[in-house]
Structures are given as structure tokens and as C-alpha cells.
Structure 1
Amino acid sequence: MLPSLSCNYNLRQDMMTGFRLNLAPVKEPLGFIRLVEWLTAIFAFWSCGGYSGTTTMSLFCSEGRNETLKATFSYPFRLNRVTLVDGNTTLCNHSVATTHLMGDSASSAQFFVGVAVICFFYAMLALLIYLGYMHVYKDSDFGPMFDFGLTAVIAFLWLVCSSAWAKGLQNVKDAVGTTGITSTLAVCQESNVTCEVTEFPGVRSLNVSVVVGFLNLVLWAGNAWFVYKETRWHSQKYSAQHVPGPGRGQQVPALM
């Protein structure tokens, strides 16, 4: 039997030996940071994926009459599908065609939430292995090496998705603000009409989601070091640094 096949076979056999509950890993950085990552992943996709807000635009007409428009939008922030004005509507004595908000931040928002969901499940699986199968994890080369590789990849994904979502969120803010709505609503271009957003949607949870995204980047990048210490790469390097050589406890034999 090939060594790799034998190793995988032994790993499967060890996984079937039984669950051994051990809470010690949670008291160490390796397991504790995984627990924090699991919690922050929940908060990340909840703060972004569960959002819904309403923007209110007031139109001040020249004859002293005011008009009010409201638009409600939510995740995944396809604003160009959100109706601001239905067709055949008269505003300030002007006929207005069907008008939508502008912009589409769905790709960055869904990417962000998707990474958060992946991290939620992986952190939960990793905690299960740490708490119940740590004896198998430490005795195999594959487990720590796979854990380290995936942790590093996820840290990079947090960097990309958080940066993309930060830009997407700014686009959402611009689109539902006075400037964004004025530019897409034709009646606001009339000289006798003044348009202004009088009730801006609260985006505090969305701001928090961006902060949590970059916090996850720090957590996963930092945890990559502790996972790396469990791999054979670190153990081999550590052993090589502590092997006594000439002048380190060994006496070089004299030449005859």
C-alpha cells in the first residue's frame, strides 16, 4: 500500500475510534480564536445580509406644495430594481416616468456574506475537531497542513471581500443620498423644483459589517500562525534549530 493511502486509511480509522471531549484547546489561542471567528462570522453575515432601510426624498415645488417619495431597499442591494416613482405619476405639475434608484452592489455584498457563511461552517467544523478529535489532529500531518492552508486562504478572502464591500457600501450611500437620487430623478432637474433627502436610512449595521470584516481578516491571519505551529514544517524547523552542532555541546574530534 502506498504511504499516502496508508496515511489516509489510518486517519479514517482513527476518526472512527470515538469522540474524546477535551475543552483544553479552547483555553489555548488555537481553539479560542476559532471560537471568536465563529462568532464574528455570524455577526458579519447578520449585519449585512439582514439589512433593510428606507430613504425619503422631499420635493419642494415652486407653488409652495411639497411631494414626498420613499424607497425601501435591502440586501443584496440591487438598487436599480428598487422603484422610486411608478409610471404615469405627476410631481410638482410634471409627468414623471417610472424611476428606479441607481447602482447595483449585489456582487460585493453577496461575496461578503458568502465568505462569512463559509467561515461560519469551517470554524464550527474546526472547533468540533479540536474538541473531540485533537488526538487524531496532532498525530497526522494532513490535518494541520490542510487547516493552515485553508486558514491562510480565508484570511486573504476576508481582505478581498471586505475591501470590495467597503466600496460597495459607499456606492449604496451615494445612491440613496440627495446627489444620487437627484441625478436619477428627472423632475429634480427642473429649475422650479428642489429635491432633498429628508430622512436618510440608518446604515450603522452596514458600517459595523465592514469593520467586522476587517476584524475577521486580523483574526484569521493571526490564527494562521498558531495553526502553522501545529504543522510538521514548524516542528522540523524547530528541531533543526535545536540540533547540537560543532561548538554546541559537541567536541570536534582531533585529527590524528
Structure 2
Amino acid sequence: MMTGFRLNFTPLKEPLCFVKLVEWLTAIFAFGCCGGYSGKNIVSLFCGDGRNETLDANFHYPFRLSQVPLVEGNATLCNRSVTETHMVGDSASSAEFFVGIAVVCFLYSMVALLVYLGYMHVYKDSDFGPIFDFVITAILVFLWLVCSSAWAKGLQNVKDATDTAGIGATLALCKGSNVTCEVTEFASMRTLNISVVFGFLNMLVWAGNAWFVYKETRWHSQKFSSQPAPARQQVPAPI
């Protein structure tokens, strides 16, 4: 059996390899839309004496909001002394889990493409390669489901903590009867929403790819080889 590297782009025409290329691209979109995010909400304070003041609510990946100051140091707002205040919430675990799975899938897709395009003759002639590929693919389908669901919940927590109700509950000054707090400018979270969509899209793509990988394993070939061949209908001999 030849084991040397032989570059061949023909497998790209087959679903096994083409879907892996799609997985590589969707993984890039998933971690790219989430990993580099940075946003800022503008909080307006409407004081009882008619004056207005503003605060910046900055947040970014990995969304450890409890470490982000909303009011830095001791400050005077609406003629009141306000101590240092941080935002509430921590979605770092779900965000980092999501990005980590996306990066792992990106790297695994690159390695798989290298095997398909350069070592397909070895891949098809061995039992270990397709079975290993199928097991890893099935595991990653499950991990995409878990991390996408967790990140969808984490993103909702970020939205709740940075909207008007969340800021109002965090800042003690906003609980006064003569001070009204409102988020007047919202950071665009379009890319974060897109990252969640690509997370579940990756799950579907990897689930579809699992079938094509399974067809390359000996489990699939044994299933069909074990089926009895249809009996031939006997034709009566001429008299």
C-alpha cells in the first residue's frame, strides 16, 4: 500500500470532502463573530433638577461583566456621591467554550482536508482512519449542540445585563425617585447573534457530514455485505 503524499483535488467533488470544506468556513464565521467583539452602551441619567449626565457601559469578549466598571472610583452624579460600581453578570464560560469548540473544529477540518486531498488512498484502504473520523465527527456534533445552546443563553444574559432594566438594577442611583436611568444608545450585537446562528448551523452541517463519514467505515460496508442476495427466479426449461 502506497503511503506517500499524493495531492489530488478530485475528492472535493465528493460530499465527504466538500462538506468538510464547508465546516472549515462555518467554523471561521462562528469564532470570528464572537471572539473579537467589543461594544458600548450609552446610559443617560435624567436628574431631578433637569440636568442630564451620561455613563459608558463598555463590554467585550469574553463578557466578564462583573469586572467591567460602570462607575470608576468615587464619582458625583446628579449631586450624589456614587461609589465604584461594576456591571453584573459573567458569560465568560459559555463564550470561551463556544469559541474553543469552533477553533478545534477549524483545526480538525484543516487536518481532515489535508488527509482527504493528500492521503485519500491511505484513508480508504484502512479501517482506523474512517472509524476515527466518524467518532470525532459524532462527538463534535454533540459539542456544537451544547456550546451553541450555552452561548445562546449567555448572550441573552449579556443583553439583559446591559439594557435599561439591567443597568437600573445595578446602579443604586437609578433606584432613587428623582433620577431616571435609560440606555439611549445600544451597541450593535448583530455579529453576536450571527455567531449563535452559525453555531447551530455548524451542528447541522457536522451532523450531515457524519453520514458521509459513516459510509466510509467498515460498519457500513459490513451491513450491506451481510444482507442476503435476492433469490433468482427459476425459468422453466423449454419442452
- TM > 0.5: yes
| Number of residues of Structure 1 aligned to a counterpart in Structure 2 | 234
Who is 2:237 aligned against?
A: none
The equivalent position to 1:236 in structure 2, one of 222, 225, 232, is 222
**1:5-47 alpha-carbon deviations (Å, 9 max, x no partner):** xxxxx8xxx5xx3211111111111101100000111111110
The equivalent position to 1:30 in structure 2, one of 2, 16, 23, is 16
CA–CA separation in structure 2 for the residues paired with 1:27 and 1:171: 43
Who is 2:29 aligned against?
A: 43
Who is 1:171 aligned against?
A: 157
SS in 2 for 1:55: strand
TM-score with structure 2 length normalisation? 0.95
CA–CA separation in structure 1 for the residues paired with 2:58 and 2:165: 17
CA–CA separation in structure 1 for the residues paired with 2:54 and 2:35: 28
Q: 2:183 aligned with 1:183, yes or no?
A: no
CA–CA separation in structure 2 for the residues paired with 1:73 and 1:120: 26
Q: Given residue 128 of structure 1, which amino acid in structure 2 is its aligned partner? A: L
Who is 1:249 aligned against?
A: 232
**1:134-186 alpha-carbon deviations (Å, 9 max, x no partner):** 00000000000000000000000000000000000000000110000100100
Q: 2:182 aligned with 1:196, yes or no?
A: yes
| Residues 21, 132 of structure 1: 8 Å contact kept | yes
Q: Report the identity percentage.
A: 72
TM-score with structure 1 length normalisation? 0.89
- Deviation of the 1:249 alpha carbon: 2.3
SS in 1 for 2:39: strand
Who is 1:108 aligned against?
A: 94
Q: 2:80 aligned with 1:94, yes or no?
A: yes
Q: Given residue 232 of structure 2, which amino acid in structure 1 is its aligned partner? A: G
- Deviation of the 1:250 alpha carbon: 8.0
Aligned pairs for 1:52-67 within 5 A? 52-67=38-53
- Deviation of the 1:71 alpha carbon: 2.1
Structure 2 spans left out of the alignment, 5+ residues: 235-239
Who is 2:204 aligned against?
A: 218
- Runs of 4+ in structure 1 off by over 2 angstroms are none
| Residues 244, 250 of structure 1: 8 Å contact kept | no
CA–CA separation in structure 2 for the residues paired with 1:120 and 1:97: 45
Structure 1 spans left out of the alignment, 5+ residues: 1-9, 252-256
Who is 1:156 aligned against?
A: 142
Q: Given residue 64 of structure 2, which amino acid in structure 1 is its aligned partner? A: R
